[in-house]
């Protein structure tokens, strides 16, 4: 199969993880680096072995780039994704696609019009671990009436930078709340539910002095499926999950994995006994890249790991979560 020539738009920390992962992918190479800062792009390209640098516009105008990875700040994702799709490039976009559901719809509409792959990069959804977990849920390993608890939180320290800047769509919900929400959406779908039926209620949390949500909890539910989700950028929270049902419980102590490796195992406890499932681990960024390459090869616009219906639902639920905290006290 043809090698996918990648450009990274946004040579920051996350872009560095993607660059280091590409050699572990089956189908991709790093070909170019784009930035609004030429010096930063050049330094990044030298470090990671990319032969080409330029502005975003210059790279998108080239015919030797097949796909772009967007790792800029949240507020720039949608415009860059639309521009890349209009230029004939496949897109892997860091989560979240955009701060609002309307912007996500604009991106997906352009992907559909262009007939090109667009994939949202929720890394825990890529690789054997996610497939094994979805299969366990689909096979009713722990029965029905599923109830998920999932969280992701860390203490950022000083309240500065993009995380605490409302003009850059900062806050816990958009930065890390998408992890438990995307997990809930994926598992609900694996259980046979339509993600569009999911609703988000019972919002609690705090908006800090800079005007962003610093921590939040909520309930996602539909047709007997319930998920209690939590996130924070000021407090350490477990990056884990538990899924219980009428016949047992699935424990997911490291469900989101790390930037270098997908989660290694989960346990299933039922009245019939306990078992541990140990799928092969993968480099999640490499797995994301290969999902886009396979979509390009097959002429698909979506990747099964994060189909557009999931991205739409995640954006809607995150929007409802943020809106639920609008009246929260500051500080």
> Locate tokens 């299969």: which residue?
135
**240-264 CB burial, b ≥16 within 10 A, e <16:** bbbbbbebbbbbbebbbbebeebbe
Residues 306, 120: contact at Cβ < 8 Å?
A: yes
Give the residue among 179, 166, 155 at the shortest CA–CA distance from 233: 155
Encoding tokens for residue 273? 């006994």
Q: Can you tell me the distance from the alpha carbon of 179 to that of 148, in angstroms, rounded to the nearest whole number?
A: 13
> Locate tokens 């990875």: which residue?
69
Q: Can you tell me the distance from the alpha carbon of 143 to that of 138, in angstroms, rounded to the nearest whole number?
A: 10
Q: Can you tell me the distance from the alpha carbon of 285 to that of 199, in angstroms, rounded to the nearest whole number?
A: 30
Quote the crossing angle between the two packed helices 178-190 and 128-138, to the nearest 10°: 50
Report CA-CA distances (Å) from 120 to 139, 169, 215, 307, 312. 26, 17, 23, 8, 10
Encoding tokens for residue 20? 């280091």
Catalytic status, residue 95: yes
Among the listed residues 2, 89, 95, 123, the single catalytic one is: 95
Catalytic residue list: 95
């Amino acid at each position: 199969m043809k090698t996918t020539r990648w450009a990274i738009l946004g040579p920051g920390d996350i872009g560095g993880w993607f660059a280091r992962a590409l050699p572990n992918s089956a189908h991709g190479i790093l070909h170019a680096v784009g930035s609004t800062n030429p010096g930063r792009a050049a330094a990044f390209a030298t470090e990671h072995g990319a032969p080409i640098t330029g502005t975003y516009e210059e790279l998108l105008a080239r015919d030797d780039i097949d796909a772009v990875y967007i790792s800029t700040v949240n507020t720039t994702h949608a415009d860059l994704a639309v521009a890349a799709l209009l230029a004939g490039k496949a897109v892997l976009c860091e989560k979240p696609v955009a701060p609002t559901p309307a912007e996500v719809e604009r991106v997906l509409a352009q992907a559909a019009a262009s007939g090109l792959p667009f994939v949202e990069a929720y890394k825990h959804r890529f690789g054997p671990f996610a497939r094994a977990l979805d299969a366990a849920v689909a096979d009713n390993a722990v029965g029905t009436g599923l109830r998920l608890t999932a969280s992701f939180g860390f203490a950022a320290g000083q309240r500065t930078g993009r995380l605490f800047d409302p003009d850059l769509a900062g806050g816990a919900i958009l930065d890390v709340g998408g992890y438990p929400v995307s997990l809930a959406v994926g598992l609900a779908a694996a259980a046979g539910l339509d993600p569009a039926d999911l609703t988000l209620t019972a919002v609690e949390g705090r908006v800090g002095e800079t005007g962003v949500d610093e921590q939040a909890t909520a309930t996602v539910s539909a047709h007997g499926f319930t998920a209690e989700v939590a996130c924070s950028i000021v407090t350490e929270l477990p990056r884990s999950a538990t899924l219980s049902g009428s016949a047992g419980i699935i424990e997911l102590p490291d469900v989101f994995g790390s930037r270098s490796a997908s989660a290694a195992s989960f346990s299933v406890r039922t009245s019939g006994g306990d078992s541990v499932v140990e799928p092969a681990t993968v480099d999640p960024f490499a797995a994301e890249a290969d999902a886009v390459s396979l979509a390009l090869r097959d002429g698909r616009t979506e990747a099964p790991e994060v189909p557009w219906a999931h991205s739409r639902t995640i954006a809607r639920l995150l929007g409802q979560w943020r809106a639920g905290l609008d009246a929260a006290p500051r500080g």
